[in-house]
Structure 1
Amino acid sequence: MMFNLLYKELRLAAHPNLYIFTLLGVLVIVPAYPYGMVFLFGCLGPYISFMYGRETNDIYYTSLLPVKKRDTVKAKCLLMVLAQMTQLSISLPFAVLRLRTLPSSNPAGIEANIAYYGFGFIVYAIFNLIFLTQFFKTAHKVGKAFVLAIIPASIGVIIMEVLVHIPKFQWLDSVEPAIMLKQLPILIVGIIVYILSMLVAYRVSANRFQQVDL
């Protein structure tokens, strides 16, 4: 049943822009580009899909299907996770290619290294937790949920980009193998935060959606 719901999300609920923004993981190969924008695109794509779903009455349509409200929430959560993890997966080979073919210094901000991906998971976690829990209060007010979520996510990106220009934290910008090993705890923490945030987002959103009268 959940596979069928996710398939329905991908075929009917996902706006074409979701796939476009997912592909923007390739931007990590662009020289002198603020790579933190990739994560914001990973937040913007799901938002557009939710807004598209509001205009097409997707939530109401799904509620008419023989599925639980919790499964509707779970399908939306899985759609966001799938889009964001696909974006990261697409970016990885381009990040490696950049390090092999272009100068490693990125004057615009952080390099696409291990710390970068750790921070990215945290940015996603912040956005997803706020956006999903706010949206499923009403299952309708997408814009308000997006504004409340994108502001702290953007602040997280700004902090990530600015930190590497502070001498004390310049090791976060390194692509040297020994230094990236030092960055590994950031990636581990980021993954843990992301997983926990999605579990909390699902539980809170499902409970709130149960109270919504469609």
Structure 2
Amino acid sequence: MGIERLVLTQVIVYSVAVLIVALTLAIVLDLFSLRRLPAEIRRYVYRTFLVGILGLVLAFVTGVLKTPGEIENAVGQVVARSTENNIRLSNARSSAILPEALAGAAPRPADPQSAPVVYMQASTLAQKNGAGPFLAALRQAGVKTPGVEIVGVRAPPKAELRYFNEGDKDLADRIAGVARANGFDDVVVKIITSYKAPPGQLEFWYPRAVADPAP
């Protein structure tokens, strides 16, 4: 059962339960003559109460009625399945890297849907504008590069190739090789454990540079 259907079903069932509580109160007041129901609606109130009770019993017996704990578990299972699917997709992307291309051999086309991803962080606009050849080399090697973001003074003193999963160490080393072949001789390969990212997702940070001059 999907989350939307589960939530809708529980809203309906618990709405009936609230109605039953209200009817129960009205019937108790009527039975003890504390607040008599009008004669023309008394029969309908009692019938609705009995039908509602029967419906709740059937919902409980058939498993439609869920406790809050069961609802939480059901939602957790749906989320876990979705997370597992995302992890499998990320692992497929990570395994699609072309080792021979990153090692300097003649590259072959990579599946753009399963290639590793490197997000580029530049210190200045000049670095971003000059990133074209490096981006082309990465894409030629089968790596997706969505673009270049300017991060200013947050850039590190030296160029860094950051990865976030132990299993991406070899991948990070190979991409660092592409960086060194494109002028980043002192690039640092660095693992970041405080940030969670899907396998196969890395970041390349340009070294900190003097800000672009004002126009």
Q: Which is higher, the Rg of structure 1 or of structure 2?
A: 2
Same fold (TM over 0.5): no
TM-score by length of 1: 0.27
TM-score by length of 2: 0.27
- Give the strand-richer structure, 1 or 2: 2
Q: Which has the higher contact order (CA 8 A, sep 6+)?
A: 1
- Give the helix-richer structure, 1 or 2: 1
